[in-house]
Chains A and B, each alone.
Chain A
Amino acid sequence: MRSGLLLGVLAIMAALFSFDKFLATVEHNEINREADSLRSEGERLLATGQASASLVPLQRAYALVRTDRRSELSFARALAAAGKVLEADARLRHLLEIEPNDGAANLAMARLQVRRSNWSDAESFYHRAEYGHWKDTGQVNQVRQELVRFLADRGEQKALLSELLILEDESTHTLETQKQLAHLFLVAGSPARAAKMYRTILKREPDDTQSYVGLADTQLAAGNYPAALSSLSEARRLRPDDTAIVRQIGIATRLVALDPTPRRLRSKQKYERSLLVLRLIAADLAQCAARLPADIEVRELLALANAAEKSPPQVTNEMSESILAVAQELWKTRSEKCVGSKPPDTLLSLLMEKISQ
């Protein structure tokens, strides 16, 4: 009697289990479908710039399937885009707790940290995104490019150069990305690599004006002013009406005329050029110092510059070197004292960089 009853109960339990499983599957599927539809709608709104409107469907999608990381990530992105930075931060941290190597979550977190001006955190999350898990390897490249732009904006030359070297190894580069890369090498303080890339481009595209201008920039940064003038002349030949090129030619021409470092110069020429450089820098420092409270160090340096102007009976290379040393001292002081005032003149910057080398 009891055995029969027990078997009956077990049979009922088996039937109920199957029924429950069926109901759970139906519910699971329906909820997932609804969540997918809401997420798609939210992502569409987010992509069209309607961040606030996208919050409602994305939040609902996330509430329906809490385990769906895609929904949570989209919701976090929408929160960030709608200016709810702290909530977005909390959601992304939750995602990263579950999967610390999630590339997309790390990238979203990096962008959020950029918005919050947490530069060091942003860089760290960019790196995690770069080496995180991605379904498509092409996305890694995009992350690296975004990181490179971030580092360039922040002036992080060393980190930028190491990222650029990885990017350079990528096999597929369009003409446009090659030019961008070359320009970024220049920003990263590696004009030689930049010049090499521009030359490679020019071999393939000899009439590319932009590449000539870029090459000229690398040559100016390297202190090879005559070569820069030559490249700019080529650019002008290709695009004679471009005023920017004309202005660059003007700078290059002046640099060629001012540069006191070429070996072929005679002592007198070198002395005159050195003196001219000193005058320019002294004038620049005097202009800046006029806006600052009285500074004894600046006053003494300007007096020193005046004293150096008195022409000696006979000029030597050593005298020119002394004048350039004073000029460097003035330039250094200008960099320290005139931080908040007008930026230094491009011409003088380029020239002093070369002299300091």
Chain B
Amino acid sequence: MKMAGRSPLVSQMRSWLRSGLGFRGQTTLWLSLIIGALVGLVIVAFILLTGRLAARMYPPGGSPWLRIFVPTLGALISGLLLARSFPDARGSGIPQTKFALFVGEGFISLRTVLGKFLCCSTSLASGIALGREGPSVHIGAGIASVLARRFNLSPEQVKAMIPVGCSAALAAAFNTPIAAVLFSLEEILGDMHAPVLGAVVISSATSWMILHLILGDEPLFHVPAYQLRNPVELLIYAFLGIVGGVASALFVKLLLDLRLAFRKLPRRTLWLQPAVGGLFVGLLAWFAPEVLGVGYDYVERVLGGDLAIRTVAVLALLKILATATCYSSGNAGGIFGPSLFIGAMVGGTVGGIAHQLFPNVTAEPGAYALIGMGTAFAGIVRTPLTSVIMIFEMTRDYSIIVPLMISNLISFYISYKLQPQPIYEALAHQDGVVLPEGEARAHLSRTRLSDIVEPSASVDGAATVSELHAMFEASRHRVMPVTLQGRLIGLLHRSVLAAAPPNATAADLVGSAAPYVHADQPLSLALERMGEHQVDILPVVSRADVTQMTGLITLSSVLRGYRVDIALPDSSEAL
């Protein structure tokens, strides 16, 4: 009787809960929805908190001293927190997210998520010239990682949930659900055909709905209707693409160089370094308060054509300096928002000058500021497709697409030529992490070396020439990996051994630049490397540490991976 009185929905829910939310596919679907909703709620709280706190820090008519004191103090507090309690919460969050995805098996700790929220709220509210979108992506990815682990998903599934969290975060932070999906695929995964596409879309849509439920249908920027006055304008947009590309490359180079300089400072000053960025932005803000914080208010004013050209040009320059210094000094915050600010100011300047010179054929400067936002995003973040869709979603105006594409692609090309390495890869490199490049990532969905990798085996660096002769005689391979105290130091060629002095050790005989592969790379890459270096064995190393050997790839194992049945010496014979 009791059962008969229970609603079918409740019964079904209980059944799902008892069975652990059904089978695996269903779990992913439910988890995507949960991640989307939870990330959306957290990011909305993050936006509201940072916005409100910043408004209270700088009340209208407040003392100009506040503009120096508050960012310095804020950076000092967040610097202490970052150095003592949350070291992984430093910076933007995009490289850290990619690190977690490609190196850390999708692991982001709850502590990092909380630290990111706390440190970014502190620094952004105090007026540090960084953005909230990058940290949001890290927070979103972190929440996805934590939830996936708590739901006992496999490591592969945990990794798959990272882009799901990223897209949910970006959809809420920018109010651009399609661009969020594209960004997760284009930048985070580097694969537009990733199998997680469905889950990424679901989480993005869920998060966007949460945003609308709480904050309503307010776009990030209110922009006047776009209009292409004359086809000649496309030439000016192309010129804007060039200027945007140069400005983007300058910004990236400055940021990377400054970051290198800060990294050279003694480690004990790590807690103090963010305060340098805070003080610098405070000093700039004494003269130009517009550089403080994310600065979206001023972006909107430029879009509305309410700022003078000279002011707009100066702000572009000051924001480049302020953001580069704040980021490189180790403050918590991203570069998405500042990219849009810089782009809007560069676009506003180009548009303002063009409108003064050719008033009859050009639109208002606001239209150029809008396109400029896309050019800077494409030039700095290097996601041209995401930037086009993002600006399109912000304006909801189809007529903007063509000039936007022209400017973005030119900016992307110019920036690529001036600074070939994308900013996030360059930042990871500075941290000693080798993230997979776009071309390599395209092969990730196919057969990877991890499928054929053999157990690690190597020659000790202390082995003598006579011992090495014996080893090579027992092997038909041309080379052997050499390790010293458990770390890979290079490859030893059979040909080198023939001319070696009798008292030399293996460590003395290895070449300086040894080829290696990573487990997530495709088979074809291993073959190419073997051919390029004329070797038949390649060490497999960790992306986090290229001296840490995790396995071995032999020519025969690669051929077996391709199902080629040819008798070749295997690894056991080799070593």
Docked CA distance A6–B55 (Å): 36
Q: Does A106 contact B (CB under 8 A)?
A: no
Residues A27 and B52 in contact in the complex (CB < 8 Å), given A16-B45, A19-B45: yes
A330 CB to nearest B CB, Å: 51
Residues of A57-73 whose CB lies within 8 A of B: 59, 63, 66
Contact B222 A23 (CB under 8 A): no
Query: What residue of chain B has the Cβ atom nearest to residue A59's Cβ?
Result: B306
Which residues in A have their C-beta under 8 angstroms from that of B568?
Answer: none
Docked CA distance A5–B149 (Å): 11
Which residues in A have their C-beta under 8 angstroms from that of B150?
Answer: 5
A254 CB to nearest B CB, Å: 59
Which residues in B have their C-beta under 8 angstroms from that of A26?
Answer: 52
Docked CA distance A24–B212 (Å): 11
B318 CB to nearest A CB, Å: 22
Which residues in B have their C-beta under 8 angstroms from that of A6?
Answer: 17, 21, 34
Contact with B along A7-43 (1 / 0, CB 8 A): 0010011001101110110110010000000000000
Residues A20 and B48 in contact in the complex (CB < 8 Å), given A6-B21, A90-B224: yes
Contact B41 A20 (CB under 8 A): yes
Residues A66 and B214 in contact in the complex (CB < 8 Å), given A6-B21, A16-B38, A16-B42: no
Which residues in A have their C-beta under 8 angstroms from that of B264?
Answer: none
Query: What residue of chain B has the Cβ atom nearest to residue A19's Cβ?
Result: B45
Q: Does A172 contact B (CB under 8 A)?
A: no
Q: Does B215 contact A (CB under 8 A)?
A: yes
Query: What residue of chain A has the Cβ atom nearest to residue B49's Cβ?
Result: A23
Q: Does A310 contact B (CB under 8 A)?
A: no
Q: Does A2 contact B (CB under 8 A)?
A: yes
Contact A24 B48 (CB under 8 A): yes
Query: Which bucket holds chain A's interface residue count?
Result: 20 to 34
Which residues in B have their C-beta under 8 angstroms from that of A9?
Answer: 34, 38, 147
A168 CB to nearest B CB, Å: 44
Q: Does A3 contact B (CB under 8 A)?
A: yes
Contact A20 B297 (CB under 8 A): no
Contact with A along B36-47 (1 / 0, CB 8 A): 011001101100
Q: Does B218 contact A (CB under 8 A)?
A: yes
Contact A12 B224 (CB under 8 A): no
Query: What residue of chain A has the Cβ atom nearest to residue B27's Cβ?
Result: A2
Which of A5, A23, A66 gathers most chain B CB within 10 Å? A23
Contact B21 A23 (CB under 8 A): no
Docked CA distance A59–B147 (Å): 45
Docked CA distance A19–B47 (Å): 13
A320 CB to nearest B CB, Å: 65
Docked CA distance A75–B74 (Å): 37
Q: CB within 8 A of A3: which of B17, B147, B222, B297? A: B17
Contact B48 A3 (CB under 8 A): no
Query: What residue of chain B has the Cβ atom nearest to residue A55's Cβ?
Result: B306
Contact A17 B17 (CB under 8 A): no
Which residues in B have their C-beta under 8 angstroms from that of A66?
Answer: 218, 222
Docked CA distance A239–B152 (Å): 104
B209 CB to nearest A CB, Å: 12
Contact B21 A2 (CB under 8 A): yes
Which residues in A have their C-beta under 8 angstroms from that of B51?
Answer: 27
Contact B151 A20 (CB under 8 A): no
Docked CA distance A24–B213 (Å): 11
Which residues in A have their C-beta under 8 angstroms from that of B215?
Answer: 24
Q: CB within 8 A of B300: which of A13, A17, A24, A63? A: A63
Which residues in B have their C-beta under 8 angstroms from that of A90?
Answer: 224
Docked CA distance A23–B56 (Å): 14
Docked CA distance A59–B52 (Å): 21
Contact B20 A2 (CB under 8 A): yes
Which residues in A have their C-beta under 8 angstroms from that of B55?
Answer: 30
A324 CB to nearest B CB, Å: 59
Which residues in A have their C-beta under 8 angstroms from that of B224?
Answer: 90
Which of A6, A12, A63 gathers most chain B CB within 10 Å? A6
Contact with B along A73-104 (1 / 0, CB 8 A): 00000000000000000100000000000000
Which residues in A have their C-beta under 8 angstroms from that of B84?
Answer: none
B366 CB to nearest A CB, Å: 12
Docked CA distance A24–B41 (Å): 12
Docked CA distance A23–B21 (Å): 33
Q: Does B18 contact A (CB under 8 A)?
A: yes
Given A6-B34, A20-B48, A24-B214, list of 20 further CB < 8 A pairs? A2-B151, A2-B152, A3-B17, A3-B18, A5-B150, A5-B151, A6-B17, A9-B34, A9-B38, A13-B37, A13-B38, A16-B38, A16-B41, A17-B41, A20-B45, A20-B214, A23-B48, A27-B51, A30-B52, A66-B218
Residues of A within 8 A of B (CB): 2-3, 5-6, 9, 12-13, 16-17, 19-21, 23-24, 26-27, 30, 59, 63, 66, 90
* 23 CB < 8 A contacts A-B: A2-B151, A2-B152, A3-B18, A6-B21, A9-B34, A9-B38, A9-B147, A16-B38, A17-B214, A19-B45, A20-B41, A21-B214, A23-B48, A23-B49, A23-B52, A24-B48, A24-B214, A24-B215, A27-B51, A30-B55, A63-B222, A63-B297, A63-B301
The 3 A-B residue pairs with the shortest CB-CB distance in the complex, in nearest-first order = A16-B41, A23-B48, A3-B17
